Chains A and B, each alone.
Chain A
Amino acid sequence: DGGITQSPKYLFRKEGQNVTLSCEQNLNHDAMYWYRQDPGQGLRLIYYSQIVNDFQKGDIAEGYSVSREKKESFPLTVTSAQKNPTAFYLCASVRGGSNQPQHFGDGTRLSIL
């Protein structure tokens, strides 16, 4: 079945360490998104990419980096510059040029050791 796969489901980071969250989709979608969710709050947009080799900052991009070398992959790196990285991270994708809804992965929960 087509869908979005986020891995790992749980991730632990030491202080000062960079970590990379994986997001892969086999839906042939053009656009991909990364959101951060803190407890009891909504989703905040970190980065999004509309096409391969192009991406734009969302509302809270500081301390994060992304790449989009392949259409199906949009990894998110949480750098040591992100001082409060503990959160639930969600990846989404959507087909460009359509009014179809975004598809979401099951999320990665990142915690600081």
Chain B
Amino acid sequence: DAKTTQPTSMDCAEGRAANLPCNHSTISGNEYVYWYRQIHSQGPQYIIHGLKNNETNEMASLIITEDRKSSTLILPHATLRDTAVYYCIVRVANTNAGKSTFGDGTTLTVKP
């Protein structure tokens, strides 16, 4: 699985959009981009995933660059409850699942 690089930490004002970047320059054509978040001492929670098209769900939007070497997770109206560690991973799908490696993630702090 390709390695990802994320900033260690970010701040965001409550009610504003939070834009979390992720670099995955060695991503392969059959690898999806997944985003999870983890609140202290809990298991990671799935947010969104995509292959090459931009995706949106009730939680967030995922913007993937045309060359697929980077992506951005957008939380459109951040709340204090969005304070968490956010992980971007890439993983081969449509196989026997395969190895899935997480990095250190980005600690997002939403401030009042």
Contacts and interface: CB of A to CB of B under 8 A. Distances in A.
Interface of A: 4, 30-31, 33, 35, 41-45, 48, 50-51, 56, 58-59, 88, 90, 92, 94-107, 109
B100 A102 contact: yes
Contacts of B42: 106-107
Interface stretch (B18-26, B60-68, B76-84, B101-109): B101-109
Interface residues of B, number: 26
B99 A58 contact: yes
Contact of B101 (A4, A45, A101, A105): A45
A90 B93 contact: no
28 contacts: A4-B43, A31-B96, A35-B102, A42-B85, A42-B87, A42-B102, A43-B44, A43-B102, A48-B100, A50-B96, A50-B98, A56-B99, A58-B99, A92-B100, A97-B96, A98-B93, A98-B94, A99-B32, A99-B51, A99-B94, A101-B34, A101-B36, A101-B49, A104-B43, A104-B44, A105-B43, A106-B42, A107-B42
Contact of A107 (B34, B41, B95, B97): B41
A73 to B, nearest CB: 17
Contacts of B41: 88, 107, 109
